[in-house]
Each structure stands twice: as structure tokens, then as C-alpha cells.
Structure 1
Amino acid sequence: MQDFLQAARSALALVASLDLEFIGIVGLSLGVSLSASVIAMLIGAPFGGVLAVARFPGRQAIIVLANALLGLPPVVVGLTIYLLLSRSGPLGFAGLLFTPAAMIIAQVVLTTPIVTALVHRLAAVLWSEYADLMRIDGLSKAHSIGQLFVIGRSFLLTAFLAAFGRAIAEVGAILMVGGNIRGFTRTMTTAIALETGKGELPLALGLGLVLIVISVLVSAAAFLLSAWADSR
């Protein structure tokens, strides 16, 4: 118990001191996760809107697949991307393995299904309410999707926060493709795993505290947005 209290005090002192390495790890984590979440939104939101509005062969199978991919194992994603980006892989020429770019790619793969599934579910509800009105106005499918996004802009933010929450907590995939290189690809989650294994609890606890605060804030924001949307 005494050791834990000492480690906790050291962790709080580390957070308060704004250590450069500590700040660098937090900054990289936020940068990678935010970038991945934005890219996932750019890919997943329009696709989810199309699935809600359009009718085409294989649509239902794609919806089922998008929801099934919500449980995609991170280590499998990491292994697949590792093989693609390794020197002997088809994308090895790009030299992206063990870089922040590879970590962003891994997180995009993991978060895009989340965005697609959430946007589809919520856009489908709005489409059932406004479809007739939009058809009367003569709106195209693309314009209809755009109008749904304007009407339900709160669910877009909810989808973004859900994707960011998934990305910021990821460890398995980014550890495999990023390599946990100090000062270059070390994020909060990979650093926590490494420092805990080394017995360096102050840094691990300090990063864990910051990660918990970020996760709680993201979850609270998503909950409040959902409650606000339901009350409208």
C-alpha cells in the first residue's frame, strides 16, 4: 500500500511538472487519435448516409458487415497492416511501418466501422421521418443525405466522439505497427504497457490518469449529446 501511495504521489508530481517526454507522449496520442477520427468521419459518415438513404443490391449485407466489424480484434488489424506495410509487403515501398502514419491507418480501420454503423442507424431514423418531404421537394439522394446531416448534426458529433474514444484507448494494433519507439511512436497506452512491465509505476500511473480523464470527458460529452438529441 505504501508503494502504491508513493507511486501515486510521484505520478501526480509528474503530471504537474509538465515533463517534456510526458507532454510529448500525450500530444502524440491526441494527434494520432484525432487524425484517425477525422479520417474515419470523412469515410464512414457519407457511407453511413448512403446506406440509410439509398437502396441497392447487397445493401443489407453491407449493413450487417459494418455492424459486425464493430468487434474487429485490434491485434488482427495490427497484424494485417504490419504485413501490408512490411518491407516484403505490397505497401512496403512507402516506408510507413513504425511511424505515426501507420498508427493512424490502424486506428482508421478500427474506427471507420463505428462511424458508419452509428451514422447509418441515426440517419435511417431521420430518413423515415423526412423522406417523403425531401422527395416532394425533389432533392437528390446526395442533397437528402446532406440535409439529414444538417438536421442531425448532433449525431455526427456523437459518432466522432465514439470514434475518438475507441482510438485513444487502442493499444494492440498501434503497438504492432508503431513499434512503441521512444520520442516517435510512443503513445499513452503503449507507454503504460511498457512502463508497467518495467515496474516504472509513476509514469504509467500519470499517463493512466490523463487517459482516464480524457476517456471520461469523451464519454460524458457523447452521453450529453445523445440526451440532448433525444430531448429535441
Structure 2
Amino acid sequence: MQPVVQPVGQPDPVTFFGQGLQQAWDLLLHNNAALLQVLVVTLKVAGLSTAIAVVVGVPAGVVLGLGRFRGVGVLRVLANVGLGLPPVVVGVTLALLMFPAAPLGRFHLIFTLRGVYVAQTVLAVPIIIALTSSAVRDVPRSLLDQARAYGASRRALGALATREARVGILAAVIAAVGSGLSEVGAVVLVGGNIEGVDQTLASAALERVNAGDFAGGLAIGILLLALILVITAALTWLQFGNRQEARVKAS
């Protein structure tokens, strides 16, 4: 077998990656102001869009999960379809609706941070609805039937289902937050990826890589992964921490 010969002028992949990591680490240490601004925008986009999606999506998901009305099956299918909405298609559609002469043009949303909020919320709401509905449907029917037998109102029944499905609902929140932190397509198309205005960590990393600044893209990618890890760990603790504490006390 002939040994693999590295082409002249081409760096060794391992060495290239190691150098990129070193440069990325230097950027993280010495370019804090610029990265901090992008980090703040990313947290705003993920936090606000998820909060709005929870306010809108959890009640809708509970209604779909408990629903016995005509057409509820179709609505559940549509909610699940929303899980697979292509972000680029959502971004193109919203951008066309937001241009000055379009129906939403008077709100001046295109190429603004507010427009990015709208785009990410549109992507997050179906996630919350679909996963909340699924979690509510997994609540034991016997428990809900017992509550109905005792005369529980629809609001009380919904509150009971929400409490019992809280682990699944928090899983929906984690998924929505993850989408908000890592989304690129819709953010770029609606917001324009304007540095200092609506650029997020994910879109900034893409811009750096497209410009040939692989070290910069890697640095931002490292920061984004760390952020996702911290936030997901915190939400997971909220999701299961109380249950583990209750089991310890019970034992």
C-alpha cells in the first residue's frame, strides 16, 4: 500500500484545526466587546421568542391534547407539520410580507431586530404547540376522567393536565430555546444579518466562515455551543430536579 502523500501547499488537517482552535481561543479572550454584543442579541432573540411561544403555544397545545371536538385530529397533524417548517421558507415568506409595499410593510419590520423576533417566534410556536399537545395526551386518561367525574371545570382540567405534563412541556421549551439560539436562515433573510443590530451568534459564525475567517467562525461556534450547553443544563435541571428531590425525600 502506497503511503498517503499530503499535496504540496496543503496544510495537514489536524494541524490546521489545531491552529484554528488556538486562533479562536485568542479571539474569545481579546475580542470580548464585539462578541458580547452579539451574545446579548442572541439571548434576546431566543428568550423573547420562546416566552411568546410559551404564552401562545402552551394553552393551544393543552386544548389540542385534551380536545374532543371535530377537526382536532387535523389540527394535531398541522401542529406536527409545524415542527418541520423549513426556516428558509419561513424567512422568505415573512421577508416578502415585510417589505415596504407588502401587507406588513407599515410596521417597518424588515431588516430590524423586531422582525427577527417575529420570525423566530413563528418558528417556535409550532414546536411548543406540538410537543405540549403530545405531552398532554400522555397524561393518564383515568386521572383526567376522575377529575371530570368530580366536576372539574375546563380551566381546572387544563391546569391539571399542564401540571402533570410539565416534564414534556419543559422539553418543548428546551427545543424552542435551542431553535432560537441556533437558527440562521430566517434570521438572515428577515434581519439581514446586520452587525451591531440583529446579528446572532449563529448568523455571525456563518458570515465569518463565508468570508474565509474560519478562526472567527470557530470562536463564535465555541461560544454558541457553550451557551447552548449552559442553558439546556439549567432547563433540564428544572425539568427533572424537583422530581429527584421528591424521590429523595420520599425515600
Is TM more than 0.5 here?
Answer: yes
* Residue aligning to 1:188: 201
- For 2:182 and 2:28, the matched residues in 1 are separated by 19
Q: Which amino acid aligns with 1:65?
A: L
CA-CA distance at 1:200 after TM superposition: 1.4
Q: Which amino acid aligns with 1:20?
A: A
* Residue aligning to 1:56: 69
* Residue aligning to 2:86: 73
Q: Is residue 2:102 matched to residue 1:89?
A: yes
Q: How many residues align?
A: 232
Greater share of helix: 1
CA-CA distance at 1:73 after TM superposition: 0.7
Q: Is residue 2:13 matched to residue 1:17?
A: no
The superposition leaves residues 152-183 of structure 1 with CA deviations (integer Å, 9 ceiling, x where unpaired) of: 33332221111111121110011000001110
- Structure with greater Cα Rg: 2
Q: Is residue 2:56 matched to residue 1:43?
A: yes
TM-score, normalising length from structure 1?
Answer: 0.91
CA-CA distance at 1:143 after TM superposition: 1.7
* Residue aligning to 1:116: 129
| CA contact 1:50–1:145 (8 Å) conserved in 2 | yes
The superposition leaves residues 86-116 of structure 1 with CA deviations (integer Å, 9 ceiling, x where unpaired) of: 1111010111111111111111111111111
- For 1:219 and 1:67, the matched residues in 2 are separated by 23
Counterpart of 2:139 in 1: which secondary structure? helix
- For 1:200 and 1:51, the matched residues in 2 are separated by 47
Counterpart of 2:138 in 1: which secondary structure? helix
Moved over 4 A (4+): 217-224, 226-232
- For 2:90 and 2:26, the matched residues in 1 are separated by 36
- For 2:189 and 2:70, the matched residues in 1 are separated by 37
CA-CA distance at 1:19 after TM superposition: 1.5
1:105 to 118, 130, 148: 118
| CA contact 1:85–1:91 (8 Å) conserved in 2 | yes
Worse-superposed segment, 13-22 or 100-109: 13-22
TM-score, normalising length from structure 2?
Answer: 0.84
- For 1:158 and 1:214, the matched residues in 2 are separated by 17
| CA contact 1:53–1:127 (8 Å) conserved in 2 | no
RMSD across aligned positions (CA): 2.3
CA-CA distance at 1:212 after TM superposition: 1.7
**5+ residue gaps in structure 2?**
1-12
- For 2:65 and 2:16, the matched residues in 1 are separated by 54
Residues 165 and 129 of structure 1: CA distance in aligned 2, closer, same or farther (over 3 Å) = farther
CA-CA distance at 1:3 after TM superposition: 4.0
1:132 to 145, 154, 170: 145
Worse-superposed segment, 186-195 or 6-15: 6-15
Specify which structure has the bigger relative contact order, considering alpha-carbon pairs within 8 angstroms and separated by 6 or more residues.
1
